[in-house]
């Protein structure tokens, strides 16, 4: 019997001490964005997209999101065959998030042939079908052809007549925002591949051959038919060589927004092209206040439910109820530790659906105790003594627990494997809860009931096991 007591003390110490240690080392469960606010974007790739391409796309998205900054633990997952779910906790500007992850970005560098300011009207009259009659702008950007595109960033607004693309996104090796402390100017430092270097030198040499102030000195950087920027070649550049060596700087300016602009442009230049064109299927943004409210509701509901369940168990099962209540705290402590560890290791977040899954598994745990306690009562009524009843009852009850929990676990695993979205979070909680329930029953409950059976509280009076069975 002392072996049982020692075992029980070890289990309790490991469970409660483990939780205390986890919390002390900051391993608290990660909260999903529906509990702390944030943005989730669901992107769908065309049917039959290669899974490797999808993988590459998520890597690019990951890097782009890091560039935005201020995102804690972004979570990008491929779900199903062609769906990508991006979760950005703490991001409250959903437009920027969508742009960061969803923009396909076919990036090109083009010579500017002409620029028309102010009034936008039928400009070229080339007679091709690809020109909008009203605005004179190119409808669908074609990298191989001349185009007329709006340059929104120019003041006043301009329409640029661009030649075919001479460099593409793949020619960019790297791009980083840089700050020159002497002139207090932000710029983007551009590194080109060896192939890109030659093309860029030709492009800039051509541009440098025009007089300063001529629109043809500009090089347009175009992303998906939008002119991102169109810097002019610096007066010092020689029309003989152009900008050679594969390195260039794009100067942004001194205004307050320049740093942001430089960062954004560097991101566009570096990760310009996602290999797949995604459709934004769903956007969900939860404000921080709503998240906090949901978390509070989940905790209050959980505690209230636990408290009431504890009362019922105590009333019906007397001192055995006490075993169950302590058992629920063991269950809770291990659960918090497990979620903390999984959050650290695999970035598992606890969502509202997950919290509900936990509350549901509290119900399952309570049921496990009831199945066991009913067996003990049955054995006591058959005339067995208390120790035989607790031990024998456990053996039969464990068989039932095993069958019933297997069915729940089966459901949880299938849900996790097959479902998308919130359902997954629920399935994970339910699955962990179901397994943990059996572990607690085997390691804790069996010992606790046996120890209780030997104490005076367990065997005499209203509060005893006998009292519950009468």
Partner 1 sequence: MTSNVFRRVDRGETTIDFVGRRRTWFIISAVLIVLSLGSLAVRQLNLGIEFVGGLGLQAPNPAGAEVGEIRDALTAVGVTGPTIQFFDDGETVRVTTEALEPGVEAEAVTTLVEVTGSVRSEVSIDAVGPSFGALVARRALLALGVFLGAVILFITWRLEFKMAMTSVAALFHDLILTVGVYSITGFTVTPATVVAILTILGYSLYDGVVVFDKIDELVEIEDDKVYTEIVNKALNQVLARSLFTSLTSLIPIGSILVVGSVILGASTLTEFALALFVGLAASTYSSVFVAAPLLAVWKEKEEPWQERAQKVERRKRAGRA
φ, ψ at 204 (rounded to 5°) = -75, -30
> Smallest distance from the beta carbon of 13 to partner 1, in angstroms?
28
Q: How many CB atoms lie within 10 A of CB 343?
A: 18
Question: Do 169 and 273 meet the contact criterion of CB atoms below 8 Å apart?
Answer: yes
Give one DSSP letter per residue of 374-392, joined into a string: HHHHHHHHTT--HHHHHHH
Toward partner 1, which CB reaches closer, 1 or 301? Answer: 301
DSSP state of 231: P
Please compute, for residue 64, the number of CA atoms within 13 A of its CA located in the half-sphere on the CB side.
Answer: 29
Task: Say how far apart CA 229 and CA 210 lie, in whole Å.
Answer: 19
Toward partner 1, which CB reaches closer, 151 or 317? Answer: 317
Q: How far separated are the first and last CA of the chain, in Å rounded?
A: 26
**3-class DSSP assignment, residue 108:** strand
Toward partner 1, which CB reaches closer, 63 or 470? Answer: 470
> Smallest distance from the beta carbon of 84 to partner 1, in angstroms?
11
Toward partner 1, which CB reaches closer, 29 or 298? Answer: 298
Toward partner 1, which CB reaches closer, 262 or 348? Answer: 348
Task: Say how far apart CA 373 and CA 390 lie, in whole Å.
Answer: 8
Toward partner 1, which CB reaches closer, 4 or 96? Answer: 96
> Smallest distance from the beta carbon of 449 to partner 1, in angstroms?
17
> Smallest distance from the beta carbon of 289 to partner 1, in angstroms?
6
> Smallest distance from the beta carbon of 293 to partner 1, in angstroms?
6
Toward partner 1, which CB reaches closer, 229 or 361? Answer: 361
- Provide the edge-to-edge strand list for the sheet that holds 172-180: 172-180, 185-192, 247-253
Buried b (16+ CB within 10 A) or exposed e, 387-413: eebbbbbbeebbeebeebbeebbeebe
Residue 9's contacts (CB-CB under 8 Å, 6 or more residues apart) are: none
Task: Say how far apart CA 370 and CA 37 lie, in whole Å.
Answer: 39
> Smallest distance from the beta carbon of 115 to partner 1, in angstroms?
27
Gyration radius of the chain over CA positions: 33
144 to 109, 116, 129, 168, 295: CA distances (angstroms): 12, 22, 16, 11, 54
> Smallest distance from the beta carbon of 363 to partner 1, in angstroms?
4
Toward partner 1, which CB reaches closer, 6 or 418? Answer: 418
> Smallest distance from the beta carbon of 355 to partner 1, in angstroms?
9
> Smallest distance from the beta carbon of 36 to partner 1, in angstroms?
13
Helices (H) and strands (E) in the chain, counts: 14, 15
Toward partner 1, which CB reaches closer, 90 or 198? Answer: 90
């Amino acid at each position: 019997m002392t072996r049982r007591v020692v075992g029980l003390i070890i289990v309790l110490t490991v469970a409660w001490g483990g939780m205390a240690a986890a919390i002390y080392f900051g391993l608290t469960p990660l909260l999903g964005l529906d509990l702390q606010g944030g943005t989730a974007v669901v992107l769908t790739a065309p049917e039959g997209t290669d899974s490797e391409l999808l993988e590459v796309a998520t890597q690019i998205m990951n890097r782009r999101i890091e560039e935005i900054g201020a995102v804690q633990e972004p979570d990008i997952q491929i779900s199903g065959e062609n769906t990508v779910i991006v979760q950005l906790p703490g991001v409250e500007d959903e437009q920027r998030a969508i742009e960061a992850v969803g923009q396909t970005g076919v990036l090109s560098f083009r010579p500017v042939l002409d620029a028309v300011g102010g009034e936008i009207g039928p400009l070229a009259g080339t007679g091709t079908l690809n020109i909008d009659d009203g605005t004179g702008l190119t409808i669908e950007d074609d990298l191989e052809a001349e185009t007329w595109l709006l340059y929104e960033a120019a003041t006043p607004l301009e329409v640029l007549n661009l030649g075919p693309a001479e460099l593409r996104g793949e020619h960019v090796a790297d791009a980083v925002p840089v700050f020159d402390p002497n002139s207090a100017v932000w710029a983007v430092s551009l590194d080109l591949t060896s192939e890109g270097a030659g093309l860029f030198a030709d492009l800039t040499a051509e541009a440098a051959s025009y007089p300063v102030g001529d629109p043809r000195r500009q090089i347009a950087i175009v992303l998906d038919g939008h002119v991102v920027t169109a810097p002019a070649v610096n007066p010092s550049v020689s029309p003989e060589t152009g900008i050679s060596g594969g390195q260039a700087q794009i100067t942004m300016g001194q205004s307050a927004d320049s740093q942001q602009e430089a960062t954004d442009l560097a991101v566009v230049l570096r990760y310009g092209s996602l290999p797949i064109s995604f459709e934004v299927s769903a956007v969900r943004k939860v404000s921080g206040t709503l998240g906090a409210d949901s978390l509070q509701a989940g905790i209050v509901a959980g505690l209230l439910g636990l408290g009431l369940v504890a009362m019922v168990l105590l009333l019906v099962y007397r001192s055995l109820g006490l075993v169950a209540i302590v058992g629920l705290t063991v269950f809770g402590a291990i659960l918090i530790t497990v979620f903390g560890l999984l959050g650290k290791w695999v970035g598992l977040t606890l969502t509202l659906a997950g919290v509900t899954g936990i509350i549901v598994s509290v119900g399952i745990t309570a049921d496990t105790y009831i199945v066991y306690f009913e067996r003990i009562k049955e054995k006591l009524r058959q005339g067995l003594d208390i120790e035989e009843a607790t031990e024998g009852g456990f053996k039969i009850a464990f068989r039932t627990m095993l069958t019933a929990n297997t069915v729940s676990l089966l459901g949880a695993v299938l849900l996790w494997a097959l479902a998308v979205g919130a359902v997954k979070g629920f399935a994970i909680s339910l699955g962990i809860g179901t397994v943990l329930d059996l572990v607690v029953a085997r390691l804790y409950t069996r010992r606790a009931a046996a120890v209780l059976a030997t104490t005076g509280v367990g065997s005499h009076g209203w509060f005893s096991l006998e009292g519950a069975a009468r």
